Amino acid sequence: MVPNNPDDPIIETRGLAKHFGDVRAVDGIDLTIGRGEIYGFLGRNGAGKTTTIRMLLGLIRPTAGQVAILGTPIQPGQQSIFARVGFLVETATAYPNLTVTENLDIQRRLTSAPGGAVAEIITQLGLGQYQDRRAGTLSLGNKQRLSLARAMIHKPDLLILDEPANGLDPAGIVEIRLLLRHLADDNGVTVFVSSHILPEVANLVDRIGIVHAGKLVEEMPIADLHAKSRSFLEIVVSDPDRAAALLGDRLGMETIERHPNGALRLFDGLDRTPEIAKVLVDAGLDLSRLATDEEDLEAYFLKLTEGAY
C-alpha cells in the first residue's frame, strides 16, 4: 500500500533541523523522494546523515521542520505507518543467543508477515547455511545480511538503510545491490540509502544528495554525474613542481592541480598530449604516466565538502 496518488512523495521533509545545544547537526534539509526511487544520501562522518534518518523514523524529535513518510506526517506517538517501513540504522543488531531463524521469526511476528516469510527471506539474503547458527557467532557481513533480512521480511513499501554494505565482501555488495535494484524496479519499493562508500552508491542509486555540516549542498540524478565531472590528463613525473612550471611557461597551461598522490592533473590541453610529453622529456624529466581520466563521484564529493575525505 502506497499513497493514493502514485506520484505523491514517499519521503518528504521541509526545513528539517536538529540542534544539540549550539551544534546544528541537521540544518534545514528539504527532501522529496518518489515511489520506486533509490536515493543515495551521502556525507562524511558527522555530516548529519544518521540524525536525519532517526528523524525520518520518528526516533528523535526535530528541532524544526516537518517530515512525512508515505504521505503521513511523522509526529510523537505515530506508529502505524512504520508497519510499511523497513530500516537498518547505524549497526547490525540481533538477539545474539537466538539462531538466525529464531531472530527472523520474532521479526515476522512483530511485523505480521505471513508464515512463509522466514524461509523466503533466508533464501533471498543467502542465509541458508547459517539459519541454525546463533546470531552472536556470525561474521560482521552475515550479521549485516541478517539485519537486512529483518528490515525486509514484511515486504515494506519503504526501506531506509544506513550503511547497508557495511561488512559485506565485494560479492555480497553486488548481491545486495542487485536485490535492492530489483525491489525498486519490479516492486516499486522506495530505498533511501545512507552511505560513505561512494563508488558503490554510484552503481546503485537513481539520485544522490550530498550533505555537509548538516546542509544538503547538492542533489542531482546519477545520470547527470558525468556532466558534472571534469576530464583531465593525469601526469606522473619525477619532478611535479618543475613539470607544472614548464607546462605553464612553454605551453601556457594554467589549470593544473596537484593530487595528494603526487600526480599532476591538467584540465586544459587534453588534445595536446604529444606536445606535453615532448616538453617534459626534452627537459630531462622521467615521465611514467600521461593518460586521460575523469573525475568520479568521490572527487566531486571532495570538491563539495571542502577537503580530504
State pTM to two decimals.
0.78
% of the chain at pLDDT higher than 70:
91
299 half-sphere exposure, CB direction, 13 A CA radius: 15
CATH for 229-304, options being 3.30.70, 3.10.350, 2.60.40, 3.40.190: 3.30.70
Contact between residue 29 and residue 53 where contact means Cβ atoms under 8 Å apart: no
How far is it, in rounded angstroms, from Cα 36 to Cα 34? 6
Looking at the predicted structure, is the pLDDT value of residue 96 above 80? yes
Beta strand pairing call for 215-221 and 264-266: unpaired
- What angle do helix axes 117-124 and 140-152 make, rounded to 10 degrees? 140
Looking at the predicted structure, is the pLDDT value of residue 4 above 60? no
Contact between residue 160 and residue 56 where contact means Cβ atoms under 8 Å apart: yes
Residue with cell 561512494: 198
Summarize pLDDT for 43-76 with one digit per residue, the tens: 888 899 999 999 999 999 999 999 999 999 998 7
Where are the chain's structural domains? 11-224, 229-304
Looking at the predicted structure, is the pLDDT value of residue 2 above 50? no
The pLDDT value given to residue 308: 41
Judge residue 268's burial from the number of C-beta atoms within 10 Å of its C-beta, 0-12 exposed, 13-18 middle, 19 or more buried. Answer: middle
Spatial strand order of the sheet with 231-237 comes to 256-258, 264-266, 231-237, 287-294
Summarize pLDDT for 102-142 with one digit per residue, the tens: 999 999 999 999 999 999 999 999 999 999 999 999 998 99
Q: Does domain 11-224 correspond to CATH entry 3.40.720.10?
A: no
Residue with cell 558534472: 228
% of the chain at pLDDT higher than 90:
62
Summarize pLDDT for 257-267 with one digit per residue, the tens: 888 778 898 88
Phi-psi sector, 306: left (phi>0), alpha (psi -120 to 50), beta = left
